[in-house]
Amino acid sequence: MIKRWARLRGRADEPFLPHNQGMDMEDEALPEDADEDVELENGEFVYYYLVPPKRQHDPNPHERLTTQLTLESYHRLSHGTCVIAPRGEEAFCKVKFMPFSSMSPEELRGWEKLVCFFLDYTNYVEPVKNNGPLMGGEMWAGGWRKSSKRGESFGRYCSVQRLVAMMEQCLYNPQDEAAAFREANDWIALHLQEMAPGIFDKYREVLIGNSLPSMGSMEYHTPYEALDFASFFTFTMYNFFNKDHQDTDANNWTLVCWIPIFNPQTSSETDPILADEGLDMRGGQFTFRDFQVYLDLNEVVGVTFCVFKSNDHTHQTLKGVSHSDKYTRIGFSCQMSEKMSNAVVAYIQAKAANKAKKIAGQQVQIAQAKARLARKR
């Protein structure tokens, strides 16, 4: 039995290991009732939930939003480090719940700086309005995307109108913006590398193999750095929730992270950034309906860091609320879109024929903002 469990865990862990550390697995009969185990790995306990075949279906597919009553029959994950896999197969999810109370002062400052990066970025872009699965709350996007402007192939997310307003108030510094993006990229990448190096490698393969720009770079032709791994990010706040859906990005695995914070719309300047033990968020669970399992983001007051196979399995964020309205939750994910990949291929082909459209990196967007300022004067 112990040997069988070791093989089950090894099979589940394969996606998260560096490419040269995969395990050779032998076929062996598996115990019919095997679905849970805990293993000590690198000084921490990892909980394995191996979903039995009888639970590998959506029990209520007619529900647009999974009800709390239905959730009561799901398997709940709420603390520690957890791996989820269909029994006998590779995992499709790994999650780590990291309490603020267990973090060093340096770690806390790092997460605070990342939150401030996202909050500051809302000054540069409008909320996303055309995200299909979105049902409520707010979403923003940053990094690189296929351009919708005539004459541009692809570029960075940016509202030139908002950039003009910031320049008029002397609130914009391009070097500070570049440094903030690089720092945010590297902070996220280091945590991904630590928890799931194999997934970090998979991200890098898609990014570099498709000549995609890094979200940490302001211009397309910038050489790749060691921690570059994705082209763009999205982040959500204010009780975001969405439909059950599968992604269609170029990356098959997606990093997603949730951070509870004091609500920027209701907090004062003396309030902390990260949520305290008074956190009263309810709901907001992240569900995998086809496996009857969900992540409970409310038990641990801290960061929930997760990777999952987003193109292969449906997933859904349920509606959440802070009853006092003192708190909200930032959720962010890092991706590489299929449309962006196609735009880069088209650009490379057009460049070879001397017909390439403009790339709207930071310098082009600054020039566009300066031209508008000149016309206003």
As a whole number of angstroms, the distance between CA 87 and CA 316 comes to: 22
Q: Where are the alpha helices (DSSP H) in the chain?
A: 2-13, 68-71, 105-121, 160-168, 174-195, 197-209, 338-352, 362-376
Per-residue model confidence (pLDDT) at position 290: 96
Q: Pick out the chain residues at pLDDT < 70.
A: 1-5, 19-34, 36-37, 39-43, 131, 353
Let me know: does 361 contact 156? Beta carbons within 8 Å: yes
Between vectors from CA 246 to CA 242 and to CA 248, what angle results, nearest 5°? 115
Please choose, from the candidates 202, 155, 105, the residue with its C-alpha nearest in 3D space to the C-alpha of residue 339.
Answer: 155
Three-state SS across 117-174?
Answer: HHHHHCCCCCCCCCCCCEEEEEEEEEEEEECCCCCEEEEECCCHHHHHHHHHCCCCCH
Per-residue model confidence (pLDDT) at position 147: 84
Per-residue model confidence (pLDDT) at position 31: 47
Per-residue model confidence (pLDDT) at position 228: 98
Global pTM value: 0.92
Q: Which two tokens stand for residue 364?
A: 């082009």
Per-residue model confidence (pLDDT) at position 3: 63
Question: Tell me: the pLDDT tens digits for 294-339?
Answer: 999 999 999 999 999 998 899 999 999 999 999 999 999 999 988 8
Phi (first) and psi of residue 218, to 5 degrees: -85, -20
Per-residue model confidence (pLDDT) at position 131: 66
As a whole number of angstroms, the distance between CA 349 and CA 241 comes to: 39
Per-residue model confidence (pLDDT) at position 27: 43
Question: Tell me: the pLDDT tens digits for 43-66?
Answer: 678 999 999 999 999 999 999 999
Per-residue model confidence (pLDDT) at position 188: 98
Q: Which amino acid does the sequence have at 69?
A: L
Q: Where are the alpha helices (DSSP H) in 196-337?
A: 197-209
